[in-house]
Structure 1
Amino acid sequence: MKALIQRVRHASVTVDGRETGAIEQGLLAFIGVEKGDDAQHAERLLHKLLHYRVFADEAGKMNLNLQQVEGGLLLVSQFTLAADTRKGLRPSFSSAAPPADGQQRFEALVERARAAWPRVASGEFGADMQVALVNDGPVTFLLES
């Protein structure tokens, strides 16, 4: 399971003109589910999302995590993160989880996140989503479980 995270000042996701999730300061996490990902992968990834120290402390160093700054977490499914781009000029999605498995894993991650942290929003699995954000920094990392 992969997450491309961006530290944001605010972010939102819209589906068919309807806002499905929005946060102020926090992390926007694009989630890619790969074949073989299971509940343990999701737990490790969620732990990283909540505890990864990417927010500045009083000295301006990245020492604070999402919970310490009381930030929001916006989870957006993005199967293209599972693409193999090493060869050719077209991505291969052979390592991505089948849609039903990906949806189950993503929705389970959202449920676990909401149980662990009160400021969680999400997009809709498999939907055509428009994501708006203001990247703070910019700060962007790829996390893998």
Structure 2
Amino acid sequence: MRALIQRVTDARVVVDGETIGEIGPGLLILVCAMQGDTATQSAKLAAKISKLRIFTDDAGKMNMSLADTGGSALIVSQFTLAGDTSRGNRPGFSTAARPEEGRALYEQFIDDVAALGITTQTGSFGADMKVSLTNDGPVTLWLDV
């Protein structure tokens, strides 16, 4: 699985003019299931993200994790993370999981993050979403598992 995570002071997802997910301090997690991914990759990615020491401690050093801070996660499906532009200017998405597999792994990932005690909000799989955020730092990381 592939994820782009951003440390945020706030983030929200709007679908058809209605806010469907919103968090304060925490992580915006854009996630994409790739072909061949399984529940094992989902659990591994969730565990990795929950333990990443990318939040500042009292000394101002990035030394705390999402689990340490009690922050929330806004999890948004984004198949375009599988985009391949190596053959030209139009991205190809053939490495992304098929929609039914992608949805199942997206939902599994949400469950895996929540099972770690992290408060989660979500986007809507396959919907046209408007995502807004205030990136804190900015801190943005790309993860593949």
For 1:29 and 1:69, locate their aligned partners in 2 and report how far apart those are by CA, in whole Å: 16
For 1:33 and 1:82, locate their aligned partners in 2 and report how far apart those are by CA, in whole Å: 8
Q: Deviations over 1:25-57 (max 9, x none)?
A: 000000011000100100110001111111011
Secondary structure at 2:50 match in 1:
helix
Q: Is the 8 A contact 2:53 2:65 kept in 1?
A: yes
Q: Is the 8 A contact 2:10 2:22 kept in 1?
A: yes
Aligned to 1:34: 34
- Of residues 84-93 and 2-11 in structure 1, the stretch that sits farther from structure 2 once superposed is 84-93
- Of residues 117-126 and 74-83 in structure 1, the stretch that sits farther from structure 2 once superposed is 117-126
For 1:48 and 1:73, locate their aligned partners in 2 and report how far apart those are by CA, in whole Å: 13
The within-5 A match list for 1:1-145 is 1-145=1-145
Runs of 4 or more consecutive aligned structure 1 residues displaced over 4 Å after TM superposition: none
- Count matched residues: 145
Q: TM-score by structure 2 length?
A: 0.96
- Of residues 105-114 and 6-15 in structure 1, the stretch that sits farther from structure 2 once superposed is 105-114
1:118, distance to aligned residue in structure 2 (A):
4.2
Secondary structure at 1:11 match in 2:
strand
Secondary structure at 2:101 match in 1:
helix
1:67, distance to aligned residue in structure 2 (A):
1.1
Q: Deviations over 1:81-102 (max 9, x none)?
A: 0111222111111101011100
Instruction: Write the letter of the residue equivalent to 1:129.
Output: M
- Of residues 112-121 and 44-53 in structure 1, the stretch that sits farther from structure 2 once superposed is 112-121
Structure 1 spans left out of the alignment, 5+ residues: none
Instruction: Write the letter of the residue equivalent to 1:73.
Output: A
Secondary structure at 1:49 match in 2:
helix
For 1:58 and 1:116, locate their aligned partners in 2 and report how far apart those are by CA, in whole Å: 24
Instruction: Write the letter of the residue equivalent to 2:81.
Output: L
- Of residues 58-67 and 22-31 in structure 1, the stretch that sits farther from structure 2 once superposed is 58-67
For 1:118 and 1:42, locate their aligned partners in 2 and report how far apart those are by CA, in whole Å: 15
For 1:112 and 1:19, locate their aligned partners in 2 and report how far apart those are by CA, in whole Å: 23
Q: TM-score by structure 1 length?
A: 0.96
